[in-house]
Structure 1
Amino acid sequence: MSLLENNTNGKLIILGLDGLPLSLAKKLAETGEFPSLARLTPTATEMRAELPELSPVNWTSFYTAADPGEHGVYGFTRIHSHDYTMGLCNFEQPQHPTVFDRLAEAGYRTRSINLPNTYPARPINGMLISGFVADELSQAVYPKFLKNMLGADFLLEADTTTGATDPAFLLDQLRQTLAARKHAFSLLWKDGAWDLFIFVLTETDRLFHFLYDAVEEEEHPWHAECISLLKEWDMLIGEVLDVYDALPEPKRLMSLADHGFTRLITEVDVNTLLRQMGLFKTHLPPEACDELDAQQITPQCKAFALDPGRIYIHTASRFARGCVADADTPALEQHISEYLMTVTYQGQRVFKTIHRGRELYTGKMAQFAPNLVCEPVAGFDLKAKFNRREPFGFFGRTGTHSVQDTFFYDSQNAQPQQVRDVGVEILRHFGIQER
């Protein structure tokens, strides 16, 4: 049974706008063509994304109200320290209670739609439709009967692999996912049997990765189509705001992005830079490797990177084939940091800061953190492939994540400094103490 009657603050709605930069939100709102966004931007503020500035890191920090050093998710991928197998992070990895868990302990009910890194779905006190990366609808819903309610044609995620080279296909896919989000929202909202409602729209992130130039440039051949899609996105935001306005007081609305976005300068492959330093050595030449084949890491490899710029010293104490002594690690970290800070592209510095993992993260999972976390200058998109020969290149993307310029709105005017703080605000709203 819900304890809403004991919560004087009322229902809380979270509207996730994945990858939305505050600066672009204000620019769009000022055109007069995005009236729903204009309802949020006057009091919206800027947050800083968690590092690395990726969706799984940030949304997991949001829904655990915790540092990555507590929940243990540091990127899209993870590596097994003994057999070097690679896998995608998912809802099974976080090692910290979620806000759903904490609310459930107090009797509150949560409904969540399209929140990234919640696949495979697991039981919560409420309902859950998983977000990216989600493959199979039957494993992306809780309770299971939601699969039939959503229907066989329900599209969990746009096909960006095909869409990367076919703008018309990508835009059509994004319209389909918007329609799917709308359908799911109407199903889960209407009975009001919830206390926390989370609804995330990820279409902006997908659009900006491949067509950010088209969004910004009026003369771009795909500009009109991109703006048309964003107007549909704005209409759905408006529907959410309208039903929120119809709720009785007390109530609260928060809206956030997980990171900002900006125009791409170039992709930067960190493993290639480590290769140039003589530190990253594989069994095969780059062109013979799969881009994520960590089996190629040899006992002679002293350091390697995982997405996007997480650098691991290949220590014997941590990795089965490791060759670096713990005593030599600080000097190697310093050597790498100093080298990377000298890297430039067309005269522009690539790296803003190289963070030590042990200084950036705290918590029980910090022991598994990367040794170094690279923070790029805005516009540089860090990668960590195993099969690239050149450090710089373009591979179909025109936009990239940014740490700064991350959108946040709160009807009660909280001003979180970074994404994890929004999760803390959720707990505070329901009178639950942080752990």
Structure 2
Amino acid sequence: MFLTPTERKRIVVLGLDGLPSSLALKWAIKLPNLSRIAGKCSPISAELPELSPVNWTSFFTAQKPEKHGLYGFTSIDPQHYTLSINNFEQVLCPTIFDALGENGLVSKIINLPNTYPAKPLRGMLISGFVADSLEKAVQPPFLLGPLRDAGYQLEADTSRGIMDPVYLFDQVSRTLDCRLKALELLWNDLAWDLFTIVFTETDRLFHFFYPAFEDENHPLYPKAEEFMHKWDKTIGAVLDKFEALPGETKLISFADHGFATLETEVDLNTFLVQNNYLEYTRPAKDQWDSTIISQSSKAFALDPGRIYIHTSDFARGQVDHAQAEKIAAEIADKLMQLQFNGEQVMHQVLTKRQAYGEIPIGNPPDLICTAKPGFDLKAKFDRAEIFGFHGRTGTHTIKDAFFYSSDGQQIESMYQTGQIILDWFDINLKD
């Protein structure tokens, strides 16, 4: 049955990647559009680990990691020990877009992380991070022409990082412009029921220049302020369009995690080496060279805080399954004692069962570590020191993720954002 624009019930999702609720309140004093949504609802918590692909996947599946199967940026091949970047193909359960489509509803999605490579859906999709090919990032394929004509840029180039702030600020400004072009392209016919747009530009800048957004005396504060005003106008474009919608409507806006100023990076593989749990066969070719894990290793880590016990689940693993729990407990105890400048690093170290329950799907870690705010957990294969700085000044936090709902609804955790969508349309997920 054809519905008129007024009869159609719509919900809009405005994603603000990495935005802490506390920082939003500070900037809302200066930013008129952010002030329309900041401070109206309480912040939420990220799923573990507090990474964009894990948490945006929890949104678009309405599931926690143990049900969608994504636990980090990378996966390791248990036979050859090579790392690969996780993407949409590693998501092991249906999405809310699948559920909406099965009920005859249309979704339009812009720059949603971990939806690459794009899959067919009832609607339109422009994938976000880790998309690197526009041709594989759009569904349906006819979107490719208009996006190319508009000069659409998938991602800001962060390769110069902290060494070239002018370049990085220019890059994120360009991608903001691209998001607006896509907004105009997909929104205006109103032939949709769910509209999702994610602005990842804050996350990109916060990793490299987070103190500049907190401290007005920081030398880069003027650049941060210039960006935030442009970002605020972009938010305003979405809010204005939402308020002009006919019929019954709702908007939710949220971040996938919080952010804090970096105290130091903490490399877990170096910690494991220094505590005789991890050995290498040779020097690493680069930071991702996990092929050097030796058969004598008892454990290894993957970004950000995932520790795997080296059992026979891996081709070279020698740890007896009966001893795995004891080794994991030893490592957890030592990690909880780890300090930096007299301050405890870890907030908690959870076992697989504690973090993800009895039957998590996919390849969950044996231990999942969460650090106290300011400590950024890493798992590189070429570092000699546990603590250090490697070109970044900001780090993710589990708590303090921004959340807003136009009707005042309150939730606690990231996966519940997806459930809001399903509840709005009275849809139940299939078991």
TM range (shorter): over 0.9
Q: What residue number does 2:375 align with?
A: 380
In the TM superposition, what whole-angstrom CA distance separates every residue of 1:211-235 from its partner, at most 9, and x where no partner exists? 1111112122211011110110000
Asked if structure 1 preserves the Cα contact closer than 8 Å seen for 2:301 and 2:379, the reply is yes
> How far does residue 42 in structure 1 lie from its aligned partner after superposition?
3.5
Q: What residue number does 2:27 align with?
A: 28
Q: Could you list the runs of 5+ residues in structure 1 that have no partner in the other structure? A: none
In the TM superposition, what whole-angstrom CA distance separates every residue of 1:160-201 from its partner, at most 9, and x where no partner exists? 112332100000000000000000011000000100000000
SS at match of 2:160: helix
Structure 1: 4+ residue segments shifted above 2 A:
1-5, 362-367
> How far does residue 289 in structure 1 lie from its aligned partner after superposition?
3.4
Q: What residue number does 1:15 align with?
A: 14
Q: What residue number does 1:371 align with?
A: 366
SS at match of 1:50: coil
Q: What residue number does 2:178 align with?
A: 180
Structure 1 distance, partners of 2:90, 2:422, is 21
> How far does residue 248 in structure 1 lie from its aligned partner after superposition?
1.4
Asked if structure 2 preserves the Cα contact closer than 8 Å seen for 1:3 and 1:108, the reply is no
Structure 2 distance, partners of 1:362, 1:212, is 34
Asked if structure 2 preserves the Cα contact closer than 8 Å seen for 1:46 and 1:408, the reply is yes
Match of 1:137 among 111, 134, 137: 134
TM-score by length of 1: 0.96
Match of 1:103 among 100, 104, 115: 100
Bigger shift: residues 78-87 or 231-240: 78-87
Which residue type is aligned with residue 24 of structure 2?
A: A
Which residue type is aligned with residue 245 of structure 1?
A: E
Match of 2:291 among 295, 308, 323: 295
Structure 2 distance, partners of 1:143, 1:363, is 39
Which residue type is aligned with residue 106 of structure 1?
A: N
**CA distance 1:149–1:351, shift in 2 (3 Å):** same
TM-score by length of 2: 0.97
Asked if structure 2 preserves the Cα contact closer than 8 Å seen for 1:358 and 1:366, the reply is no
In the TM superposition, what whole-angstrom CA distance separates every residue of 1:98-130 from its partner, at most 9, and x where no partner exists? 000010111100000000001111101000000
**CA distance 1:367–1:211, shift in 2 (3 Å):** closer
Q: What residue number does 2:189 align with?
A: 191
Asked if structure 2 preserves the Cα contact closer than 8 Å seen for 1:67 and 1:363, the reply is no
Asked if structure 1 preserves the Cα contact closer than 8 Å seen for 2:15 and 2:197, the reply is yes
Match of 1:356 among 333, 351, 357: 351
Bigger shift: residues 383-392 or 276-285: 276-285
Where does 1:230-245 land on structure 2 (aligned, <5 Å)?
230-245=228-243
Structure 2 distance, partners of 1:374, 1:145, is 43
SS at match of 2:105: coil
Q: What residue number does 2:266 align with?
A: 268
User: Size of the alignment, in residue pairs?
Assistant: 429
Match of 2:121 among 121, 124, 127: 124
Which residue type is aligned with residue 247 of structure 1?
A: L
Asked if structure 1 preserves the Cα contact closer than 8 Å seen for 2:161 and 2:391, the reply is no
Q: What residue number does 1:405 align with?
A: 400
Where does 1:149-160 land on structure 2 (aligned, <5 Å)?
149-151=146-148, 153-160=151-158
> How far does residue 4 in structure 1 lie from its aligned partner after superposition?
8.7
Match of 1:310 among 292, 298, 306: 306
Asked if structure 2 preserves the Cα contact closer than 8 Å seen for 1:305 and 1:384, the reply is yes
SS at match of 1:332: helix
In the TM superposition, what whole-angstrom CA distance separates every residue of 1:67-96 from its partner, at most 9, and x where no partner exists? 111111100101111222211011111011
What is the RMSD of the two structures over their aligned residues, measured on CA atoms?
1.6
Asked if structure 2 preserves the Cα contact closer than 8 Å seen for 1:9 and 1:429, the reply is no
Q: What residue number does 2:391 align with?
A: 396
Asked if structure 2 preserves the Cα contact closer than 8 Å seen for 1:110 and 1:126, the reply is yes
Which residue type is aligned with residue 249 of structure 2?
A: K
SS at match of 1:369: coil
Structure 2 distance, partners of 1:138, 1:42, is 39
Structure 2 distance, partners of 1:377, 1:398, is 15
Structure 1 distance, partners of 2:429, 2:42, is 24
**CA distance 1:66–1:284, shift in 2 (3 Å):** same
Which residue type is aligned with residue 300 of structure 2?
A: F
Q: Percent identity?
A: 49
